[in-house]
Amino acid sequence: MRSEPEKPSPDATPRKRQHLIHDELPKEHEDPLIGVLHRVIRMGVKVLAVLMVFVILWGVLDVVYVLYQQLASPPFLLLEVGDLFRLFGAFMVVLIAIEIFINIRLYLGTDVLPIQLVIATALMAIARKVIVLDIEAVSAEYVFAIAAVVLALGVTHWLVARKQ
């Protein structure tokens, strides 16, 4: 006769502290004042998450409005290169806001600080800067500085991803 395979115990997970959320801000603390302050900070982070959802929705409406304006103005239903760059910038702002919301949500819901996601969000923000950059209006030093930031973030992202 076959026996049922044993189910792994909850303690058999690779990370036993999987369900503990942010030990650095425990709800219960030996000092009651610190416990209250931790709960206030957690509530502040939740408020930030709600506000970020409003920012994302407002950004989506803004993209729709900008697209409508561009398509409704002469020449009708045509977009020029400058219009596309403005639209790309608007899209990227919304995507960056979504990434920031994900960072906030992960901060609230896990015990892991999402370093790789934070770096990826920074990369997306600098990529937006590169996409909308008017190369004729900025100095060479500015372009080199952006290149240095992109390189540093790219190497950091690669190193963090490689470590995992």
For residues 94 and 59, the answer to whether their CB atoms sit within 8 Å is: yes
| DSSP-derived secondary structure letter, 75 | S
pLDDT classification of 77: cutoffs 50, 70, 90: confident
Note the pLDDT tens digit of each residue in 78-98: 888 888 888 888 888 999 999
Distance CA 160, CA 162 (A): 5
* 127 phi, psi to nearest 5 deg: -65, -40
How far is residue 80's CA from residue 89's CA, in Å, rounded to a whole number? 14
Q: Is the pLDDT of residue 41 over 90?
A: no
Query: pLDDT grade, residue 1 (50/70/90)?
Result: very low
Backbone phi and psi for residue 81, each to the nearest 5 degrees, phi listed first: -60, -45
Residue 96 near residue 124, CB atoms below 8 Å: yes
Give pLDDT, residue 30: 80
Which has the higher per-residue pLDDT, 55 or 75? 55
| Local confidence band at 76 (pLDDT 50, 70, 90 cut-offs) | confident
Percent of the chain whose pLDDT exceeds 70: 81
Domain ranges of the chain: 21-163
pTM of the predicted model as reported, rounded to 2 decimal places: 0.71
